[in-house]
Structure 1
Amino acid sequence: MTKILKKYTSIPPHLYVERDADLQLKRIVDEMQRPGYVLVARQMGKTNLLINAKRTLESDNRIFAYVDLSNSFKYERECYLNIIDVIIETFEDIFEPIVSEIYSLRKNSLPPHKEYSKSLRIILNHFKGDIVIILDEIDALRTADYSDNIFAQIRSNYFSRTNFEEFERLTYILSGVIEPTELIKDRNKSPFNIGDKIYLDDFTLEEHNTFIKKSKLKIDNSISNEIYKWTNGNPRLTFDICSEIEDQIISKKPITKESISLIIKGKYLTLYDIAPIDHIRELVKSNKDVRQAIIQLQNNTNDISDELKKKLYLFGIINSQFNKTTKIKNRIIKESLTIDWINSVEKSSKDITVTFGLAKYVSKEYKEAIEIFETLLNNSPSNKDLETIKYFLGASYYNIRNYEKTLKHLVYDFSDTEDKRKALSMVGVCKIASGNPSEGYKDLETVIETKTNDFYYQNALYNIAINTLNSDSKKADSLFNDLIESAIEIESEAEENRTTDEIDNFKAICLYHRAVIRLEEKENDLEGIKLLQSSYDLANTQNSIYIKHLLHNLKPNENTNYKNELVNSIISNNLIFENQNTYPTSFNERHLLNYLGYLFDKDDNTLYKKLLKYSYKYIYNKEVNKSFIAYRASKISNNSKQILESLLDIKEKDVLKLVYYDLAIIENENSIIFFEYFKKFKTIVNRISANDLYIYAIAIRKLFDEKKIEDGIKLCVETIKQIEQIDDEVLNYESIIIYYWLSIFYDTKNDVVNAKLTATKTIEVIKLSSLETKTSMIDEKALKLIQEQMNDIVYPKPTQQILPFISNKKYGRNERIKVRYNNGKVIEDKFKKLEKDITSGNCVII
């Protein structure tokens, strides 16, 4: 006899038994309307359901892309890219012709959701059939900051059908072990309520018999019924038990009710380490409410809320018939969750968990501490333990810079005065970081009323000081001095697990701030230099390198070997960026790029290349190519032009495009050289973006100033032709400047018809846009003047005044500006606070 019930990764077609869930899934796919959401416990057949749908419903006119989200991505864009890549790679023969178009789109720095939506439209316009995207293990998004955006994008795809009919041929099937509503972090956003839930219940007796028949298992009805009595149709248990029975039949052992009982008890009810029993017991251990509910079920009482019933279903303990009498779904699971075992779990959790969590916190293993305290919080702790858990859970989140979760747990009326004060210190910082500074300052001022000289007092004082620097430097200086005195007072105590070295480094940071205050008021201030030297003497390696660099800039002739020392200090100490360190002197990306720019020397670049190589291999882990690191260094270097010129021979076209762009801007005053770089830039641009339009506008304006009207018209027309092929609202709005100049060119050569047509188009673009009332190149006042001038062309007046567009604006460090990030987010703040993101290319000034 040949074995049929093997250990398959997925159930093959000849053994698969369809259930109601299969029919429901088929209906959703056939209708191509609302997405489906498969909601079921782990190891209950969810993945096999999805694979079978793909296997049976896929055709020449309908394709399925199966995406496993359990390999989570750090960034939203990476998640979208993976989905698109799966579609393309799974059906390589179909989508090979559009691969280059998809990849070109990725170079345009669009917000992630726009790039994803456009990619889907390219795919749907190429393939004229239906596309079903299966997103399995969707609950893995629980740990992703961008999870809300994924659900919002799926909603958007459905609601976009009005404008883009190709989305009528796209649907999603999601699956996971958590309700979609629980995955939405921001309750102010629209709930994910467009999906049809699909519950996956166990085999009915008829479906169980169908499986027995398909398995060709030679057993009589009484044996089949005995299996069903134990499993109640659970597919995983049924398959595995029948596989064991098949082995015994092959070995010619008799199959009786007693032998089935021995198989089950030996396999599942002795060590409890076989799926799905092991997983169910682990879940039960983690949730006190579930444990209490199981005790009720074992005692045949049924006073359980619907919310808890859903939890029991997703743990694999009951079926989905919540409105009927609730029972543990089968005998095997029931005997694995005895009241005695539940009581032993209760006792165990009370004995060790809080202490274990505190130990993890003290050893600074914050993520492990969070896991323990979150579990404790779900187990309905006593009031005494609740305060301890909430405090250390919030403090753990604070230490990994998760301010939202910190506020969730620490905005609480702690009964202990010390806990209340410490929590308030962290809450104040979180409120400032979350955009609520007035409330944050109020909390921090409360903390410093009592001078306690511990970390939380100093934390409050330091954050008030750094946020006072711009408005009242004298007050800030006084606060930093108070902090130094406070650090001196506690130095001998090594308080709050802070070593003497850590306290010295904290004093160094405060001395640095005091030095900067003086040096900003008066260049080369002797007291400021003295304070900076004291800061350097106390600082650790991470901070001392930057402080020494400042000292060298103040006295550049004192150390002729400084460049060597700088490079060797970074490399010998294996420095990398530390995400958790927020001090302005800490070794960070901006400092590294600054050092690279400083080291660049066209006559001898040995040290520059040495640090660049180290950065590429060990700081960026080869995830960013060397030419791009060098390009970013050029953005903040006094040697910008020389660094860019050194990159003219690179092969990476995406970086070379940026190099030509920047060199053209630098050579703006020299028209001949400007146009040389501009023409090279244009040859690399496959798909024009909103950010590109600035250099096009400069070129067009130059042609106008040089009275090259025909060349100007030609460039405007070429540019507009590219813009009109791209569906991008931001690009369309930014193109106002191009339409404007085209109208001016036509008007200058007295081509009345085309001047009026283009002026009308300019006005139309301005009026139809739902974006802001200004562009990245034209402020609100200038935009109104453009409208007036275009109206003058459409309806002529005796005189017209040509409006020059605004270019190359210089900003003061304290001047407020507004920027748009690559993900579409718009922020307004002082130039100096946003300068880093601007120079690194993460955002543009609008």
Structure 2
Amino acid sequence: MSKKLIPSTIIPEELYVERNADVQLRQIIRDMGRPGYILVARQMGKTNLLINSKRKLEGVNDIFAYIDLSNKFETDRECFRNIIDTILDVNYEKLESISEKIYSNREKRKTVAHREHVSELRLILSEITGKLIINLDEIDSLTAAEYSDKIFAQVRSVYFERVNYSEFERLSYILSGVAEPSDIIKDKSISPFNIGQKILLGDFSLEEFHSLLVKTDLSLSDEVIDRIFYWASGNPRLSWEICSKVEDIIIENAKVDCETIDNIVSILYTTNFNRPPVDHIRTLIQSDTELREAVLSIYYQRIDDLSDKVKSRLYLAGILSSDYESGDIKIKNRIIEESLDMSWLLEISKQNTLSIVKAEEFFLNGDYIKASEIYVNIVDNPEFSSADQLNSSYKLGVCYSKLGENQKAINCMENNLFNKVGFRDIHIEQLYILGLSYLKQKNYEKSEEYFNQIIKEKPNDFYFIALVNRASTLGKIDLPKHREEIIEINKEVVKQSIDDNIVAPEAICSAYYNLGTLNESLDDKKISFNYYLNAYESATNSYKLKPLINALSLDYGKFNSIWSKILNVLSSGDIVFDSGIEPYGMETTLNETAGLINIAIELDKIDDLIEFLENVKSYCLKEKNNFSTVLLEIAIHLLNSNRRKASKFILTFISELDRIYISPNDFFLSNKYLLFIDRENLKAGDSYFKGFQNYTDSIDRIDVLLFEIKIMNLLHGGDVGTAVKYCDLIINLEGLYSLDIKVQLLTILLLKMRCLQKGEDKLEQAQELNLIIDKVKKEDLHLSHINEQTFESIKNEVIATIVSETPINQVIRKGKQYGRNELVKVQFKDESVLTKKYKYIQEDIKKGNCTIIN
């Protein structure tokens, strides 16, 4: 037996085992839609994936170019030229005739770097009739360069250039590395890189691992095979190295059993931890607190604590398998699990100090996200005392409550209540958070139970606000039945606030506000108006806006006086619209703010409204660049409630903001919704369609509708070629990988069928669409904007197209002779059927105008 599993960067073709990623990559290259983005940890076979695609797919007229971006260049021009030079050097025979022209143009023309690059790409494409696939590897290395944004922006913009340069339909990119797409472009004021079709390079399945053994002629017992898979779980590098050692033992005619495999694993990986990928993973864990805490969360079974971004980072570090997106969150194999031993992790955590002091600092400053990240690790860390863990659980519950994560707040508080004896204030605060969390979850009976416990412990700091909230729960349970009791409770709170000063402003304000809403429901607007003003007067600045909005909605005639109060409240700086904390109680929601804006629009108070928006920008934001995001959410609230005039005003306002106040994504979305409201807005349409591939992660009904209108307008104008390009633009965004997407895109697929000229392409499109239609059930139509009647019309049109485009081959029956006066039935090309004597239609049959069908 000769050795086959030798250390090698490039796997020989005869030993290469294909995985699902190979299938995905082939599909992307064949479709030539959005670029592929291979998101993968190191040592997973990414380079061999690219090489295999080149072997399998590169035709004689194609060019597959591999560019290593880890090479450092001073400028973007040097980087662009390196890409072109590499393509020219490796494909000199194909591109000899244009090489000199490209080099000469660089000397003669002094164009900007990215335009020079576009020109050179076009020249290369003019020399080949096939595809140009550019593989950009190690893209995370490029992100360190100052000019990296320009390179990736250029890759993204090629897809817009397809409208101008049809040759770019034969150009696509495959990017690979360990950087998330959202992290590639650093400057958040320009377009993000979010157009890649993600390819997750997974481990071998057991079947694929068996395939590797077959290719290498390794004959092993089932027990040994299972033991290798037990340790490596199909990790390509680990499996290759273990099998290589097994191969050595077999060549020496020694016995191989499960104990042999365990010894190999121990020697290679779990004793010194100095071989890839284990050494790299441990280094990452030591230096990265977030990753380390995430691994601890997996061990503690706190999977819900892991954000999608952290899961992705764990995958890119080589700790999670590619199944992580489907919810399979576990350390990807036992070798890595052994190398990330719990005691080692805790020791590092201790060295890096999970500081209670730091958590308290974040907590007191209102940074509940950062505080919770520390508290969550202290709660289950045995290095901390039970007292520290109990206190951290309490603080963690407060953080979750502030962040609107109600079930997590309940879990922290309900099982870790402080003893009422000795810790009465904390105990009552915990009861209040439990009551409030259940109220937000609409579990009113449970909420009332906790508020009643607080009320029974009178006096305490939460007594009056608990009274008010108990009244709210009664209203939710049965308002008509409890109306009088609710009114009495709120009046009692108001009376107490007048008699003495022990009632908290939030409770007084809430009581007045509740009385306002209760009287409003009785259609007593004058009394309600006064209650709302009382709520405003008694509230702290952060609670004043809500009652003013309600008061104004009852009496537009008081606009000027109330509006000036609103502007004063905003200028106080106590209203924050981007705090990240869920508004509740007397805090103003963006939906309520949308109602206020609509009032100003209805009254044509444009100057006042602009002053309001300027106050929001100046005084009500933690971060200035959140301004457009806040306004966009307001505009969507207005649109969803069919207040289109106000929504259009806000969307137009957003689209005209200075760049420092608007993100590229918000600019795109504002134009999208603006075009939806105003189909004649050419400026919005231009911005939307130009930005579609950059800023659309998944399509929705509005996207489909806007593309429908655009494509139909192009067809009516006779521009069929561009109409097809727009069809492909939206179809290729996600690809037709699922029935849900196919249903959403039914009308676009139909329009593409209409665009195609008669012949094989039209027939093929109709047949593919018919296969989709056959799988669609009536209950699936909710995914699209079409109804059952429209669906039936589409179905009939597709069937008619298939019939009309299918060539009818006449069957000639040998020996059959028709008499001149014999009646025959024939079908003409227009599908009409006629029965006549043979002599009258003999010439039509010979010319192929009709076919005998009986």
Higher relative contact order (CA 8 A, sep 6+): 2
Length-normalised TM-score, structure 2: 0.48
Length-normalised TM-score, structure 1: 0.48
